[in-house]
């Protein structure tokens, strides 16, 4: 059994190491674990969940201890700037480099295509209006009106496609991730009174949010021991939660769990 637990721990750690702790869920970790071991883990679901939370807390503590710098924005702008800062390769007759250069100029072409779609839609609408004027004096207008109606709907379709494309561009996938963060590690939990006081009166937070705010408080008040940054020197507010003058960062995450309660309890 201990060999199996060690194997599970190794796999879970590898999943956490390459994941964003702000978005990872117990479900995705369990699925990744099951894919690796190759058999159904449902009978061990509760034990595996406890192991996942334990490993998550360790990774969250490590991440907090080393996160002296500000976190990079999750909207992708920093990545875009870092890409634009890379100098372009010199001109070459190599087909591969030529293709890369060509990719850099596809953006204005795409904008031109969007403009052309608008122009086509406007032109189709103008033709429709002229066709309607011609159709009014004739009695056989029923058959003639049917064909232009298709053109009109086609023009609307072009506009609709562009509107949908624009909405997709405007709404990133990050927004959907934010909405779905309500279960597993990201389930809102009630804070104990001392922990609430430590975090400025917060009443309900998820486990990652709690760990993040505690480490933010530690860094702002310079409570890490300079000789061993894994050791936290407790001030009065910290001592009310952790009941000691010094606490190791791994022990700290375990004590934090004792100060977080399920709202249903």
Backbone angles phi, psi at 87, to 5 degrees: -65, 150
Q: 163 vs 215, which has greater pLDDT?
A: 215
In whole angstroms, give the CA distance from residue 255 to residue 248. Answer: 10
Which residue has 């959907």 as its token pair? 176
| Residue partners of 132: CB distance under 8 A and separation at least 6 | 145, 148
Q: For residue 256, give every residue at least 6 positions away whose Cβ sits within 8 Å of its Cβ, in sequence order, or none.
A: 57, 195, 210, 211, 214, 241
Per-residue pLDDT tens digits for 166-202: 444 344 444 444 445 566 677 899 999 999 999 999 9
pLDDT at 16 over 60: yes
Provide the pLDDT for residue 2.
Answer: 67
Q: Quick one: tokens of 261?
A: 């309660």
Cα–Cα distance measured from residue 80 to residue 102, given in angstroms and rounded to the nearest whole number: 18
pLDDT tens digits for range 197-210 = 999 999 999 888 89
pLDDT reported for residue 157 = 46
* Average of per-residue pLDDT across 49-58: 84
**DSSP H helical segments within 139-205, as ranges?**
141-170, 173-179, 193-198
pLDDT band, residue 257 (cuts 50/70/90): confident
Q: Which residues contact 246 (CB under 8 A, 6 or more apart)?
A: 225, 231, 232, 233, 234
* pLDDT of res. 132: 55
Tell me, what's the pLDDT at 1?
A: 55
Report pLDDT digits (tens) over 74-103.
333 333 333 333 333 444 444 444 434 344
Backbone angles phi, psi at 164, to 5 degrees: -65, -40
**β-bridge partners, 189:** 205
pLDDT digits (tens, 9 = 90+) for 217-243: 999 999 999 998 889 999 999 999 999
**pLDDT tens for residues 119-139?**
555 555 555 555 555 555 444
8 Å CB contact between 13 and 55: yes
**Hey, is 223 helix, strand or coil?**
coil
- Residue 99's pLDDT is 36
Please tell me the predicted confidence (pLDDT) of residue 193: 95
Q: In what order do the strands lie in the sheet with 224-225?
A: 224-225, 228-233, 246-248
Percent of the chain with pLDDT over 90: 21
Q: Are the C-beta atoms of 234 and 198 separated by less than 8 Å?
A: no
């Amino acid at each position: 059994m201990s060999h199996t637990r060690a194997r599970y721990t190794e796999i879970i750690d590898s999943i956490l190491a390459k994941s964003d702790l702000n978005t990872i869920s117990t479900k995705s970790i369990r699925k990744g674990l099951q894919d690796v071991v190759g058999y159904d883990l449902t009978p061990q679901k509760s034990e595996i969940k406890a192991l996942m939370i334990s490993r998550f807390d360790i990774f969250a503590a490590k991440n907090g201890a080393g996160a002296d710098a500000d976190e990079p924005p999750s909207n992708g702008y920093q990545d875009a700037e870092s890409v634009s800062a890379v100098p372009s390769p010199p001109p070459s007759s190599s087909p591969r480099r030529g293709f890369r250069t060509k990719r850099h100029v596809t953006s204005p072409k795409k904008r031109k295509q969007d403009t052309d779609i608008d122009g086509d839609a406007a032109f189709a609408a103008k033709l429709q209006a002229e066709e309607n004027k011609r159709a009014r004096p004739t009695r056989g207008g029923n058959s003639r009106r049917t064909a232009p109606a298709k053109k009109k709907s086609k023009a609307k379709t072009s506009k609709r496609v562009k509107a949908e494309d624009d909405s997709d561009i405007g709404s990133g996938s990050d927004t959907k991730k934010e909405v779905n963060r309500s279960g597993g590690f990201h389930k809102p939990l009630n804070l104990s009174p001392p922990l609430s006081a430590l975090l400025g009166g917060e009443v309900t937070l998820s486990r990652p949010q709690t760990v993040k705010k505690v480490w933010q408080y530690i860094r702002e008040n310079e409570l890490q021991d300079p000789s061993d940054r894994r050791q936290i020197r407790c001030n009065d507010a910290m001592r009310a939660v952790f009941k000691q003058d010094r606490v190791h960062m791994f022990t700290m995450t375990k004590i934090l769990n004792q100060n977080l309660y399920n709202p249903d309890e």
